[in-house]
């Protein structure tokens, strides 16, 4: 969801005038707000982010609307024991599936450097704080382009 919101936000940054011209700007902003509101609610404390609800196996075996599902809806969080948010991600590097092992089967990741760079780039653009620009340049990708 974060990537979808990020890409939609980027499209508004780049094409605001065209979206406005076609009367789609408010629709785009509403979609962005819905997603960011969801993520804000999933981030109830500075070092806590709920990253997944439900179990991939049972969810993928069920074709009901989430509100009609009767299987357990376990919530998995990223916190000090399972780091993930930007400052955490920067200090305690690791992959999403290491914090929420059940996710690996469905959302396996080959690394985290590109997400850190993406976050640093947008945080720099939003805040102008040099620390994010320096982080963007400094993040080691092991020689792999991101």
Q: What is the pLDDT along the chain (146 residues), one digit of tens a residue?
A: 888 999 999 999 999 999 999 999 999 999 999 999 998 899 898 778 887 777 778 888 888 887 888 888 888 888 877 765 666 667 767 676 776 777 777 777 777 777 788 888 888 988 999 998 898 888 766 655 54
The alpha carbon of residue 145 and the mean position of all alpha carbons in its chain are separated, in whole angstroms, by 20
Domain segments of the chain as ranges:
1-41
Cβ(111)–Cβ(145) under 8 Å?
A: no
């Amino acid at each position: 969801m974060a990537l979808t919101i990020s890409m939609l936000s980027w499209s508004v940054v780049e094409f605001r005038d065209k979206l406005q011209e076609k009367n789609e700007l408010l629709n785009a902003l509403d979609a962005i707000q819905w997603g960011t509101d969801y993520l804000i609610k999933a981030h109830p404390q500075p070092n806590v982010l709920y990253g997944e609800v439900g179990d991939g196996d049972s969810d993928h075996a069920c074709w009901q609307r989430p509100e009609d599902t009767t299987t357990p809806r376990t919530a998995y969080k990223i916190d000090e024991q399972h780091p993930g948010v930007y400052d955490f991600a920067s200090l305690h590097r690791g992959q999403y599936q290491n914090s929420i092992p059940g996710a690996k089967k469905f959302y396996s990741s080959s690394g985290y450097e590109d997400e850190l760079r993406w976050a640093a780039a947008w945080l720099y653009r939003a805040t102008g704080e040099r620390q994010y620009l320096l982080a963007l340049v400094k993040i080691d990708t092991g020689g792999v382009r991101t």
